[in-house]
């Protein structure tokens, strides 16, 4: 049986070891970590073959490293792509993908307002210092978004977006972008290959912050970009020279984290769905933003594009900003911390963290009210999560008439 015909859970459980040639007796099952800057070049003829690319070999770890290559193969396989490049952060992956995506193109990079904050700031630097044309388009205006594809050099999109969990139709975007020769880059960090397969909808590149679900243990920073086709020599040159390469030990940590990826995602999906439904029933909660809810306004696109709702969600408390702050002060088991995708549940208030550079009014217009709380649901026992949410909410209960649960809406992206 070829390793590729095995299910994702099986491929994860065996990790990259199953992708190597079978070792003999006494060979370690785990590949050793290639913690080395340099590699022996051998004879002049060997060195010539390695540098000219006629033979696969290693010279210097920024150019290539066996542990890093093991991770690249594993992630390319999980996403159903041909090849991947591994980077030292998600931001480095976005920089690399945008550079490769714009190669040979004249038009602007088209992206949307609610792309990840770090990507937004990076694109600001590229546009102001390096004069890379970048155009921010409102993706909730489908007509304007699709119309922008006709002038795109390349497209960077994130679905679901964070923290509002808005979805963008990958297939529809790709059809319009490809008609004009533009490549489409999808940031699949929040959905993960377990819940969403952007290459099935025609995307060209997929980027990830491996710091989140792929590693899953909140103990390293890393990223990767996966290409649907074989990488060109230019792609490898861009990656090598931008310099955001990862070290062998961090690559190995992600490889180790991926062994439990399928298990973790099953638990994340189950907990995410249960917590979203639990919050929706609570009188203290005014609105829940989670694509897996039956009442979700983009439910049809969700069913077409995603397999599960994942474990990232946001909600607003009826008591407003003051209640949100009190809630953050009261959570115990759930950590008040940034990031997402770890096994532990985390909450933040975007107005205070990712969106603090905006005025309160600009945030309200962007659909991120000061009372919004983002929750990355971990894999803890649901009973313990509900107990912590319950005790935190009990401290924010405002006296007065109960909020009418029937009138409560799931998030409407047109708002």
Ligand X SMILES: *Cc1c(COP(=O)(O)O)cnc(C)c1O
Residues labelled catalytic:
62, 116, 187, 212
* Binds ligand X (CB under 6 A): choice among 65, 67, 89, 354: 89
Nearer to ligand X, 72 or 190 (CB): 190
Nearer to ligand X, 238 or 392 (CB): 238
Q: Does 223 sit near ligand X (CB under 6 A)? A: yes
Max Cα distance, the chain (Å):
83
Q: Does 193 sit near ligand X (CB under 6 A)? A: no
Number of Cβ within 10 Å of residue 129's Cβ equals 8
Q: Does 173 sit near ligand X (CB under 6 A)? A: no
Positive or negative, the CA dihedral 297, 159, 356, 376 is positive
Q: Does 83 sit near ligand X (CB under 6 A)? A: no
Q: Which residue has the tokens 């694109």?
A: 123
Q: Does 31 sit near ligand X (CB under 6 A)? A: no
Part of the chain binding ligand X (CB under 6 A), chosen from 8-16, 102-110, 115-123, 241-249? 115-123
Q: Does 15 sit near ligand X (CB under 6 A)? A: no
Which 8-state DSSP code applies to residue 199?
Answer: G
Q: Are 255 and 222 in contact (CB under 8 A)?
A: no
Q: Does 91 sit near ligand X (CB under 6 A)? A: yes
Long-range contacts of 383-388, Cβ-Cβ distance < 8 Å, separation of 24 or more = 384/333, 385/271, 385/275, 385/333, 385/334, 385/345, 386/275, 386/278, 387/333, 388/331, 388/332, 388/333, 388/334
Nearer to ligand X, 206 or 389 (CB): 206
Element (H or E) spanning 313, and its range? strand 312-317
The Cα–Cα gap between 98 and 118 comes to 14
Q: Does 67 sit near ligand X (CB under 6 A)? A: no
Q: Does 183 sit near ligand X (CB under 6 A)? A: no
Q: Does 217 sit near ligand X (CB under 6 A)? A: no
Nearer to ligand X, 81 or 319 (CB): 81
CA angle 337, 293, 176 (to 5 degrees): 90
Q: Does 211 sit near ligand X (CB under 6 A)? A: yes
> What's the min distance (Å) between Cβ of 376 and ligand X?
10
Q: Does 65 sit near ligand X (CB under 6 A)? A: no
Q: Which residues contact 409 (CB under 8 A, 6 or more apart)?
A: 287, 295
Part of the chain binding ligand X (CB under 6 A), chosen from 183-191, 237-245, 247-255, 354-362? 183-191
> What's the min distance (Å) between Cβ of 218 and ligand X?
11
- CA distances (Å), origin 94, targets 98, 208, 228, 318: 6, 8, 16, 37
Nearer to ligand X, 208 or 282 (CB): 208
Q: Does 354 sit near ligand X (CB under 6 A)? A: no
Region 148-167 residues binding ligand X, contact defined as CB under 6 A: 158, 162
Part of the chain binding ligand X (CB under 6 A), chosen from 139-147, 209-217, 355-363, 387-395? 209-217
Give the number of residues in contact with ligand X, rule: CB under 6 A.
16
Nearest to 415 by CA among 287, 275, 234: 287
Q: Are 293 and 105 in contact (CB under 8 A)?
A: no
- Which residue has its beta carbon closest to ligand X? 90
Q: Does 221 sit near ligand X (CB under 6 A)? A: yes
The Cα–Cα gap between 111 and 123 comes to 9
* Binds ligand X (CB under 6 A): choice among 112, 176, 212, 264: 212
Nearest to 374 by CA among 333, 413, 316: 316
Q: Does 376 sit near ligand X (CB under 6 A)? A: no
* Binds ligand X (CB under 6 A): choice among 64, 81, 90, 216: 90
Q: Does 187 sit near ligand X (CB under 6 A)? A: yes
> What's the min distance (Å) between Cβ of 361 and ligand X?
26
The Cα–Cα gap between 339 and 212 comes to 7
Q: Which residues contact 380 (CB under 8 A, 6 or more apart)?
A: 271, 333, 343, 344, 345
> What's the min distance (Å) between Cβ of 252 and ligand X?
17
* Binds ligand X (CB under 6 A): choice among 65, 67, 99, 119: 119
Binding footprint of ligand X on the chain (CB under 6 A) = 89-91, 116, 118-119, 158, 162, 187, 189-190, 209, 211-212, 221, 223
């Amino acid at each position: 049986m070829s390793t590729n015909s095995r299910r994702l859970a099986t491929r994860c459980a065996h990790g990259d070891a199953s992708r190597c040639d079978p070792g003999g007796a006494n060979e370690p099952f785990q590949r050793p970590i290639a913690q080395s800057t340099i590699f022996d070049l051998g004879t002049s003829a060997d060195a010539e073959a390695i540098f000219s690319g006629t033979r696969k070999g290693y010279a210097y770890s920024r150019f290539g490293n066996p542990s890093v290559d093991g991770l690249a193969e594993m992630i390319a396989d999980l996403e159903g792509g041909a090849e991947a490049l591994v980077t030292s952060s998600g931001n480095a992956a976005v920089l690399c993908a945008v550079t490769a995506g714009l190669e040979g193109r004249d038009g602007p990079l088209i992206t949307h307002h609610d792309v990840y904050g770090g990507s937004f700031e990076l694109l600001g630097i590229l546009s102001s210092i390096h004069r890379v044309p970048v155009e921010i388009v409102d993706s909730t205006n489908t007509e304007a978004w699709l119309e922008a594809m006709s002038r795109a050099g390349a497209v960077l999109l994130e679905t679901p977006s964070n923290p509002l969990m808005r979805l963008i139709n990958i297939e529809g975007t790709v059809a319009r972008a490809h008609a004009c020769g533009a490549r489409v880059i999808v940031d699949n960090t929040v959905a993960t290959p377990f819940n969403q397969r952007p290459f099935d909808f025609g995307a060209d590149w997929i980027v990830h912050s491996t710091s989140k679900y792929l590693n899953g243990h909140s103990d390293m920073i890393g990223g990767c970009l996966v290409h649907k086709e074989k990488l060109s020599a230019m792609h490898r040159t861009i990656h090598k020279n931008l310099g955001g390469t990862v070290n062998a030990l961090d690559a190995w940590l992600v490889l180790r984290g991926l062994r439990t990826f399928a298990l973790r995602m099953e638990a994340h999906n189950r907990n995410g769905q249960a917590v979203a439904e639990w919050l929706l029933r609570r009188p203290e909660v005014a609105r829940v933003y989670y694509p897996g809810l039956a009442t979700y306004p983009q439910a049809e696109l969700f069913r077409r594009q995603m397999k599960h709702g994942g474990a990232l969600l946001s909600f607003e408390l009826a008591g407003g900003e003051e209640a949100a702050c009190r809630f953050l002060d009261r959570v115990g088991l759930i950590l008040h911390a940034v990031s997402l995708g770890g096994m532990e549940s985390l909450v933040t208030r975007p107005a205070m963290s990712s969106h603090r550079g905006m005025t309160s009014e600009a945030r309200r217009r962007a659909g991120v009210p000061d009372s919004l709380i983002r929750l990355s649901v971990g894999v803890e026992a649901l009973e313990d999560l509900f107990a912590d949410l319950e005790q935190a909410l009990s401290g924010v209960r405002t006296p007065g008439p109960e909020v009418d649960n029937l009138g409560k809406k799931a998030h409407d992206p047109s708002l």
